[in-house]
Structure 1
Amino acid sequence: MPAARRTRPLVPVGALVAATAASVLAGCSSSGSGSPGSGTLRVDASDTACRVSVNTLAAGPVSVAVSNTGSKVTEVYVYAPGDRIVTERENIGPGTRTTVTTELKPGSYEIACKPGMTGDGIRQKITVTGGDASATVAADPRLDAAVAAYRGYVQQQADATLPVVQQFAAALKTGDVARAQALFAPSRVGWERTEPVAESFGDIDPKTDTREDGVEPGQQWTGWHRLEKSLWVNGTVTPEDAQLADQLVTDLQDRQKRIGTAEITATSMANGAKELLDEVATGKVTGEEDRYSHTDLSDFAANVEGAQKAYELLRPVVVETDPQLVATLDGGVTGQSEENACSPTT
């Protein structure tokens, strides 16, 4: 794989992409106020508590304002039933604040603060009331088109991933370590481009993409990284590995079937783009993801490509609500594309 040449930092682009969510909502808010959300939920995340400012919110756009008052790096999740991730913000340092904009439909949710970024988190229940969240936002056919196009993109990536994963599994099952190693990174590209959608299903991500230090008590370690360790650290394939390879295929087939019902909104697209860029800039850049194979550049490229796709689809709306933001993002995204020489294929 050719080396990737990247001199521009990802962090500023990631922070700007976050503003896209607010700009999208400002452009379609029925109030026309330009406000990033119709409600604010303040979260005080400490080492021992997760305090929320309100337990009931009106359906629609919501700004989740997080303040880390603890001594540990934390992360905050908004979970729908079944631990489906509605939105998340990782790597919130001690003494720092951050805000994420999301859309909440009527129902029950949990706010989870995870000091040390481990475990199920300290959780608080919240209730969202009112009519359908879409009723609070004026219809914009461009946003509907963007969501439909992005769902098609996610489906295409899931469809393209499966044959490569099947080849990866076949190599493992025949004991062809060299071929399995060669297929490891390509088998992950489609996943990494659309990871936020995969995470929204709740159960698939832990089974397929958990790293060794992320395994929870009582959880069996399965998925790509369990097999990665066998291939690069052990250098051999066991009968258990062959079973895990089959399980990986099954889990990704499950993901493939669920894309049509995935909860995707314009806001989740923008937030997902930021999550992808943040993950590269604050986590994967350390080599923690592909720690045995050191194929991180492939994941980097796929994350950036997925973020670019979401932004590309939302750009027609954002260009009207915040043209300066678009000008800045266009410059950052173009620079990243030109300097990135690593382009894995699906």
Structure 2
Amino acid sequence: MKRKIPIHSTKRIVYVLSTLWFMSCTQNENIKQYDLYNFKVETIDANISLYRVDFSDKDHGFGVREDGLYKTEDGGKIWNKIYDSKGLIYIKCFDEHNCVIIAEKNGKGYLLVYKNGKVITPNMGGLNVKFSFDTINLFDMMNLFNGDIGFIKTDTKSVFRTVDGGLTWKKIEGLSIDKRQNFYRKENGDFIVIGKYNKEDYGFLISNDDGHSWLKKGETLEHYTEIQNVIGNEIIFHDRYKNKVMETLDYQYFESYENIDHVVPTDIGHNTDGTRVMFGYYYVKFPDGIVPEIPVTRLCIYLSADHGKHWVQKTYGETVPLPISLNMVHVEHGMVLSHDINSSKIDRITF
């Protein structure tokens, strides 16, 4: 019979096991020439705590909290309030001048648009859009792209689209996706997401008309398959059923990444020089007979210098119970900005 122990009693065991794991972590000999073993983590203690942040570049970013909208111009050290409002809980930006905000009032979610210094209430076509704080806390609800095109997901699996920077939104009829799925744009301009469209089976969906209509490509996928990023026309995705991170160009041939089958990725970013960075976590294993009340995980980071063919694994952050609250918000020229949504902590990681 397995013995359950409370989460607070597992801290010492977690520390010992994670330390042993770190000491025994294997490193790929083929990567030493790229000097990726060392990376620097600079913790920025922001002057306030924010629910969500989004950066348009390494210096400029927006953040929301319960009393309003804030902006930073120094990489997240100092945040100044630019709009006074109650209930702001989520933000995504097109650029440093245009953002879309989710706010909450009396248990209901609604949208606001920040455009060139002004906050505007967009036209939602008379439809009631539902969001929950718990959902927003765990998932990205919006994906915005250059050209003022964006998509937003609701708790009812509905999807809304904008083509004017968030001023007007229309529901995409027939499209159904899970909250964990995100939209991406390929180098050829096509948009891609995993979901269902009309009566098609679950799989890769492609749109070449800015998200108006969608076409299924390739084989049927498991429901727990998630796209992690699209680099050029390469689609990087995580098959939770097979517990593998894979890549495809043609939706038919899938190439698995090496050495990372045991990690659940949360974000994958890239630089133009071919280096890639991946946030993820793995479940801490306990001795037989010991089962914590809450699954315990260890945050880690992977670095690759050869377009994802080989990876070097590093530990990062603390040993934490689920859910993971760390989000990679910006990648540029060998630098990552990450944000812990439960604190004022922003990490600048250089490699």
TM exceeding 0.5: no
> TM-score category by the smaller chain?
under 0.3
TM-score, normalised with respect to structure 2: 0.26
The structure carrying a bigger helix percent of its residues is 1
The structure carrying a bigger strand percent of its residues is 2
TM-score, normalised with respect to structure 1: 0.26
Q: Highest relative contact order (Cα 8 Å, sep 6+), 1 or 2?
A: 1
